[in-house]
Amino acid sequence: MRAIEDVARIVAVSSLFETDAVTPDGSEGPPYYNAACRIETELGPLPLMRFLQSVEREIGRTPSAERWAPRPIDLDLLLYGNDIVETDELTVPHTRMAERPFVLVPLAEIAADVVHPVLNRTIAELAEEAGDAGVRRIAEAGWDGLTGDGPG
Structural contact between residues 61 and 73, judged by C-beta atoms closer than 8 angstroms: yes
Helix (H) or strand (E) holding 137: strand 135-139
Catalytic residues: 61, 71, 74, 76
Helix (H) or strand (E) holding 135: strand 135-139
Helix axis angle, 123-130 to 101-111, nearest 10°: 150
